[in-house]
Structure 1
């Protein structure tokens, strides 16, 4: 008899977001507000660097952790954001997804616990479980998606190894406030816990004060891993390039997981990535901000309660008043109204849906109109 496959992987379900996207693609004329992919094209200044790199013959194996030039550029960029890291602290990765996977493979032993404030991006839990770890969910719905010291303390045990934070958050668009960041810092300092910061939306903040954990708490650099990506602020999702930053010896262990998983990012992409760091994403941010205003007003008119997102490009309204669970709501919205959203259960919080507004203006307006008509049949 054939032996079983990896038990840790066998317990994982395929991406719920991709499942919804497949349903939407199968429904003719459906407008998808499901994927977190900017509708903009990558700026020409970035694309042109690939042409030049290919012309120079940069098609051979690069260093595993990325070229020295790109790592220096990323280190300088982070220092400019108040996070001092050396080029040797940087690993260029195949997007933030691989950065997260390599980080968890380096940090998590079977039986370790990782605190994940929910709602949260599904990859965190899947990566932790694939390593044999246990996810401890911290419900933030009672505190407007912020982290309170009491709720955090209730999640801590002798097995706690790490906590993952994402600010601005996917799927809520919430930015963690200072008390939330300090609560995480107190946990890390008191219990020797690693802090994995998924900062991929840090350039997409609309207004008000914004602090990154690593900048506010440099004293915890030895246990902080910063994950970032070129995908969201520069519309480079298909390029599959990101990075992580951590200090030795942590970065040295992550480098092993990265090397054995992917070897490296393609050589000819890295000059373009360095050029991206010089491109101001402000025009895209302005467009997302304007779309956010339309979404917030439209959801209010529908009677769907929603915290106003202050970053990223998602809204996370409650659909409790419709009488449907989130799975049924999203499947019926696709079939009956031709508009796709993601069930909140995919992020650990049923009873909500994620609406992505990083789509073209006409598609967004039509999608909101269809959603309003659908909700009107339920309420």
Structure 2
């Protein structure tokens, strides 16, 4: 079962008690409810300390900031009371601790145990001072809005995938550039294997060599004979006749007879085969290059389509952030646009295109959209606002039920205006 304090709804600050915070030794401030509350004093009178106290209590850091505690004191304390019976106590010492109490039926504050940090985190948004966002860059505002709308992780995942896809496409583009455009070569087909030609040439050479050896043997026999009588001549004739018959017998057993001309024809055929094979290999290489480039182009196109799909997905996520401000959008290139006007504030360009009234409208609307349960917004350096813009803010605050605290630099007049909280040297000045 959830603790009872989780049932509290939107609330306003009623009172703020501050002790030993910077220049403020002790102060109690009563707020009048929804609308504009002006806090006025000279520089170093304690205005910013009040804003920091509210931020620390309702939406600030939980780490100790050096110089937060008044010099010479050991600790500081901030107590915020709300119109819903909450009492939020912040103790600043070696660290920042908080506790939450609620007003019970008997009129006493009862401390709520457990889950204080989770409870306070559920109340605040970090946009309790939206007017300060007028000095933020577009990138900083967009990052905060991504976080508040729960789209930061989605965008990060999409951007990571986009980078991977773009890097892969770049690599393929480099490979395409390396391959270039293949130079066309004439089509050539591989012929039958050269083994048959080489085998036939080997057979022809063996045939001619055997034939040459037969004639050489006959020639040696003749040279070895001695011719002294007519009988020697008859013997030579018989021997030559036998050699001739043996040669005819051997020739009759050969499947094919070859001549030197046949060898020349076979050599020419082998040379032609080699030329054709070189051409066919070059054509194969050309075809392989064409196929490789075609594959790369298909992969490049597929990656381009994937990148475009991811960009559209990113665009859809940005479009569906539910910012709650009419006319406000975040473009694909991380630009804030309101009703067609690009804000255009970057680290190097601090002059934007929006008017002051437009900035007030947008950032205060964002403050409302992401205000959580705390209906309090703070404007520091509010003296820079003219009466027109202050009237816009006042009307907006009353209409939306927010407490808007304007921190103004100004003297404490002799005749103090009702409804304004005046500060002087860290103390609240009363009439």
TM over 0.5: no
Instruction: Please report the TM-score for the alignment, with normalisation by the length of structure 1.
Output: 0.25
Question: Using CA pairs below 8 Å that are at least 6 residues apart, which structure has the higher relative contact order?
Answer: 2
Larger radius of gyration: 2
**TM-score scaled by length of structure 2:** 0.22
